Structures are given as structure tokens and as C-alpha cells.
Structure 1
Amino acid sequence: MLPTPCYVVGDAHLGVASREAERGLLHLLRTVPEDARSLVIMGDLFDFWFAWRHAMPRVGFRALAALADLHDAGIPVLWIGGNHDCWGGEALRAETGAEYTLDPWRGLIGPWDTLLAHGDGLRDKEDAPYRRLRTVLRHPLSITAFSWLHPNLATWIAARSSHTSRKARARDGGAGLLAVGSAALADPDGPRLVLHGHSHVPMLRQTGRGVYGNAGAWYLDQQYLVIDDAAITRRQWNGATPATVLDRIERQAL
């Protein structure tokens, strides 16, 4: 169980994010202990992440340090791995203290029965080719072979092979993942809250038996979600506190 209030941030893509977006994220992470009791990262914190045996990418070093500080302050951090930061989760756990998983996470966030998944590969037909590619990319032999490359070369290759999944929002406007989430919410044994990332489309919507949400892409919008016992809000970071509330769904209305 994650305590509330819980901040939810997605798709920061540090490495291609602007300096302003990265500074804003660091500022938000530093304010977490003032207002929140837990943090969820919905994947793709980095535009590229890989943990070699004796090296890690220097991009995002300050963000990792901020996450480690949260752990040391007693703030639990749950990290749902995305398609850009899916290699080297053990190093991320060791360095930050975060709970890191590539699998969907089902559990309680405060009173909310919640299902979390990054969202890559979840659409039935549209994502079928990607699912086949993902099987290859995440195979232990592929990871071992990639680890033999020099980090500079490996990073150069990675930066030039993932343009389509970082440059814009999903072409369907997030409808595909909304449909996946709505199906889960309609299941009698399903959750009451489903959160995805990946599409880069910020969203908060009452559907089926509960609420579907997406924090969007921090590097594009600097938006995030806040879950508390009474409601879920979608907020716009504006460099100060309190942030601008864009949407709100009350739990008692469900």
C-alpha cells in the first residue's frame, strides 16, 4: 500500500527534455516531502537508461539523487519501468531505494484499488509488432550483447533508434489506452483506478466503475496527478506552490 497524498509523474524523458522541464521536475521532487507521502513514476523518466556493470548514464544524475533523498526521508517511491528505462532496474533500486517493476502493479494507493502500467504494448492490434520487438530487446542475450558496447556508442545508437516514441503524443489521442483502462474498470473484479503513461496525453476521466488517468509527458506539459483519500486531481506545475488544478474527480461521486 502507498500512503496518500501520492504524486504521480510520467514520461519526463530526461536527456531530451529541456533544461526548464528538468529543473521543474527537480523542484517538484524536492517539494514532495512538504505535501505528499508517496511518489509514483509512470516510466520513461529517462529517454535512455542502461546499467553497465561499472557505469551508468550521467543524464538524470540529479533526479536519481533526489529520489534517493526521498527514500532516505521515508517517502516510498514506486517506479513503473517504461520502454525507455527498462534495462537495469536492479541498479535503479540499489541507487535510489525505489520499488522498480516492469510488470503492471496492482495495489492500494490510500483507499484506491489501483492498477498501474506504463502502457507500451497494451493495445491489442496496434501494438502487436512492438510486442514482438520488445521480446527481442528485453531478452537476456540481447541485453548481454548490448552491455558489451562502449557506453558512448550504445547511447548514440539508442538515441537514434527511438525518435517515434518520444517526439509527440499518441496519434490516437490516448484513445487506445483509455479503452484498455476502461475495460479493466468495467471488470467486476477489476480496480477502481487505472493509471497509464506512454501516450504522452494527459487525462483524468471517470469511466466504468472508476477513474482512468494519465499524467501525460512531463517534458511536454509539466503536468502530474495527485491522489488523496477524497479525490484525484490533475495539476499543472507553474514553478510555485500550489500548482494549478486542471481537473478533479471526487471519490464519493463514483
Structure 2
Amino acid sequence: MLPTPCHVIGDVHLGVASAESERRLLRHLRALPDQARSLIIMGDLFDFWFAWRHVMPRTGFRVLAALADLAEQQIPVVWIGGNHDCWGGEALRAETGAHYTLEPWRGLIGPWDALRPHGDGLREVEDAPYRRLRRVLRHPWSIAAYSWLHPDFATRLAHASSKTSRKGRARDGGAGLLAVGTAALSSAGGPRLAVHGHSHVPTLVPAGHGIYANAGAWYLDHQYLRLEDDRIARMQTHDDGTASTVVQLERPR
């Protein structure tokens, strides 16, 4: 179980995010021990990440250090791997102390029964071609072959090939993932809170028998979710380091 208050951030895309966006994230992470007791990263913290045997990308070095500091302060971090940062879980776990997983994470956040996949490949029809490609990209043979590329070339190649999957918002306005979340929330034995990333569309609405939430894309909106025992809020950060509530919902009883 993750303790509350819990902050949820998603889709930071370090590597293409602006320097100001990264500074805001660092400020948020460094202040987090005074504001929350756990953190969830909903995937795509990096626009590209790969763990070679003896080197690691320099992008986001200070962010990784800030996550490691949270672990040292006994702030648990759950990191759901996305479609941009899915190659290097063991290195990320070792360097940051985060619980990194590529599997949909279901568990308790305080009293909330929550389901949290990143969101890629979940739409039944629209994402069918991507699911086939994902099996290839995440196959051990593909990963082994990619590891032979020089990191500079491999990084340029990855950035060039991933432009469409990070550009702005989902073309359906997030409706596809909302439908997936609503189906889970409406099912027998389903969760009471469904959280996705991936669509880059900040959302917090009642759905099914619970609540559907998406923190949006940090690099576009600088928003996050804040869960307390009795409520969940979508929060907006500001230039001066403060945050305000965009919308808030009470936990379903």
C-alpha cells in the first residue's frame, strides 16, 4: 500500500521538455517530502531511455538524483514504464530505488483501490498495430541488438522515430483511454480509481463505479494529481513554485 498524500505525475518527456519544465519538476520533487508521502510516475519520464551495460544517458541526471533522494528519505516511488522509457528497468531501479514496472499496477493508495497502467496499447482497435510493434521492440533479441549501437547514434535514432507519439495530445482527446478506464471501473471486482498517462490529456471525472484520472503531460501542462484519503485533486503548478486546485472530487463511498 502506498501512503497518502500521494502525488501522481506523468509524461514529462525529459530530452524534449524545456529546461524550465525540468526545473519545475526538480523543484516539485525536492519539495515533495514536505507535501506528500509517496509518488507515482505514470510513464514516459524520459522521451528516450536505454540502459547500456556501462553507460547511461545524461538526460535527466538531476531528476534521477532527486528520485534517489526521495528513496533515501523513505518516500516510496512507483514508476510505471511507458512506451518511451521501457528499456532499462533494472538500471532505473538500482539507481533511484523506485519500484519500476512495465506491468499495470493495481493496489491501494491509502484507502483507494487503484489501477494504473501507462495507457499505451489499451485501445482495442486503434492500438492493434502498435501492440504488434511493441512485442518486437521489447523482445530480448531486439533489445540486445540495439545495445550494440553507439549511444549517441541510438539516441538520435530514437528521438527521430518517436516524434508522432509525443506530439501534443491524443487525437481523440483522450476519449479512448477514458472508455478503457470506464470499462474497468464498471466491471465486477473492478477498481474504484483508474489512472492513465499516455494521452497527454489532463482529466479527472466520475466514471463507472469510481473515478477516472489522468495527470496529463508535465512538459505541456505542469499538472499533477494529489490523492488524499477522502479526495483526489488535479493540481496546477505555477512559476513561483505554488500550486492551485483545478478540480477536486470526493472519494466514492
**Superposition TM-score tier, normalisation by shorter sequence:** over 0.9
d(CA) in 2 for partners of 1:30, 1:182: 34
The within-5 A match list for 1:38-53 is: 38-53=38-53
AA partner of residue 62 (structure 2) = R
Partner of 2:26, secondary structure, is helix
AA partner of residue 207 (structure 1) = A
Partner of 1:164, secondary structure, is helix
Alignment correspondent of 2:109: 109
Alignment correspondent of 1:58: 58
Deviation track 1:81-134 (CA, whole Å, cap 9, x = no partner) reads 000000010000000000000000010000000000000000000000000000
Partner of 2:15, secondary structure, is coil
Partner of 1:121, secondary structure, is coil
AA partner of residue 247 (structure 2) = D
Q: Which runs of 4+ in 1 moved over 6 A?
A: none
Partner of 1:4, secondary structure, is coil
d(CA) in 2 for partners of 1:66, 1:248: 28
AA partner of residue 97 (structure 2) = G
AA partner of residue 139 (structure 2) = H
Alignment correspondent of 2:149: 149
5+ residue gaps in structure 1? none
5+ residue gaps in structure 2? none
d(CA) in 1 for partners of 2:71, 2:240: 23
Alignment correspondent of 2:34: 34
Q: Does residue 22 of structure 1 match 2:10?
A: no
Q: CA deviation at 1:239?
A: 3.2
Q: CA deviation at 1:152?
A: 0.6
Q: CA deviation at 1:65?
A: 0.2
The within-5 A match list for 1:235-246 is: 235-240=235-240, 242-246=242-246
d(CA) in 2 for partners of 1:162, 1:242: 33
Does the Cα contact within 8 Å between 2:114 and 2:191 map onto a contact in 1? Answer: yes
d(CA) in 2 for partners of 1:160, 1:4: 39
Q: CA deviation at 1:241?
A: 5.2
Q: Which TM-score applies when normalising by structure 1?
A: 0.98
Alignment correspondent of 1:99: 99
d(CA) in 2 for partners of 1:160, 1:239: 31
AA partner of residue 119 (structure 2) = G
Q: Which TM-score applies when normalising by structure 2?
A: 0.99
CA-based RMSD of the aligned residues comes to 0.8
Q: CA deviation at 1:167?
A: 1.2
d(CA) in 2 for partners of 1:70, 1:96: 8
AA partner of residue 151 (structure 1) = P
The within-5 A match list for 1:211-222 is: 211-222=211-222
Partner of 1:49, secondary structure, is coil
Alignment correspondent of 1:189: 189
d(CA) in 2 for partners of 1:50, 1:164: 19
d(CA) in 1 for partners of 2:16, 2:156: 13
Q: CA deviation at 1:51?
A: 0.3
The within-5 A match list for 1:68-79 is: 68-79=68-79
d(CA) in 1 for partners of 2:159, 2:176: 26
Identity %: 70
d(CA) in 1 for partners of 2:140, 2:242: 45
Q: CA deviation at 1:242?
A: 4.2
Partner of 1:159, secondary structure, is helix
